[in-house]
Amino acid sequence: MAFPPRNPASPPRNLPPPPGGILWDVTGEIRTLLTLPPALALQVAHPAVGAGVDEHSVFRTDPWGRGERSLRSLQLWVYGGQAAAEEGRRLRRLHRTIRGTDAHGCPYHALMPEAYVWVHASGFPVMRHARQYLDRRPYTDAEERQLYAEWLQVGRVLGIRDRDMPQTIEEFWPYYRNMLAEELELTTVAREIVAVDGLVPPPDHVPLPLRLALRALWPVLLPPFVRLRRFVTIGLMPPGAREAIGLPWTPVQERRLRRFGRVVRTVVPLLPERLRYFPLARRARAAHRAATAPRTGR
């Protein structure tokens, strides 16, 4: 499906959304960690994406390292300035050799538009849905449009052509519903993400004393961790996607998620910025404030 060309007044393709936007506020904040599992599960529910991750990713052997790299990449798309363009080029180079055959016997390539676009586009409905739980109010219509426009710009940084991705919210929702109805399924990788019996290694990208403590305590910590991961992954996935993939969700779980969300949206805004935002985002935000602060004469 081809979409109309972008507005000529759109920002340059290789620059991230400007400071002061919605992504500038939310992408580098710790609540983003809760949206990554449902976003990943929705991505890999596409057979080609799931096959690529299954066959070429280190998500089983190095899940923490992969998660750290994904989080840093996401922040570069928004806070990286000129570095965002290089990150986009790096990711495309990385995906050039990822190809194979999916579970249905169909050949795939990581950069074929239908798969590459879905990986990016699927982040928008997850951000929109999670907002109603993790923040004090859902997005207004104007904010949703702004968020989508900023997400489109991030897609351009990643090398996605305007003709391959819906250019407006009105075009996005039919595309999204068609993907749910025609393409998505509970792939092997999606099933593993919500499993509670998987063998997840303890975190190893932490200081040595903490790493040793986690190794010792991991048999005790792992069961509640995978239960929480499943709970957050399914709960913060949009209901239509959840149903399309075949993931169960009960009214009791919904009430628990709303209670969990109330705690998150009460506590996180009270944290100081050094605890609330990741280092790259915190530095970019501080630099922007310094550059735009009014200058006073002596």
pLDDT, one tens digit per residue, over 118-163 is 999 999 999 999 999 999 899 999 999 999 999 999 999 999 999 9
The Cα–Cα gap between 1 and 144 comes to 23
The amino acid occupying position 95 is: H
- Virtual CA dihedral for 291, 292, 294, 298, nearest 10 degrees? 10
Residues 6+ apart with CB under 8 A from 149: none
Rounded alpha-carbon distances, angstroms, from residue 116 to 16, 89, 158, 176: 18, 14, 10, 14
Q: Are 269 and 263 in contact (CB under 8 A)?
A: no
- 239 closest CA partner among 37, 36, 32, 38: 38
What is the reported pTM? 0.91
Residue-wise burial string across 147-168, b where 16 or more C-beta atoms lie within 10 A, e elsewhere? bbbbbbbbbbbbbbbbebbbbe
pLDDT for the residue 27: 95
Overall residue count recorded for the chain in this entry: 298
- 110 closest CA partner among 57, 184, 74: 57
* Share above pLDDT 70 across residues of the chain, in percent, rounded to a whole number: 95
Under-50 pLDDT residues of the chain: 298
- Measured in whole angstroms, how far is the alpha carbon of residue 188 from the centre of its chain? 19
pLDDT for the residue 206: 85
- 268 closest CA partner among 72, 136, 153: 136
Q: Are 100 and 107 in contact (CB under 8 A)?
A: yes
User: Which residues on adjacent β-strands are paired with residue 109?
Assistant: 99
Residues 6+ apart with CB under 8 A from 239: 129, 249
Residues 6+ apart with CB under 8 A from 58: 65, 66
Tokens of 35: 């949206």
Backbone angles phi, psi at 29, to 5 degrees: -90, 155
pLDDT for the residue 70: 93
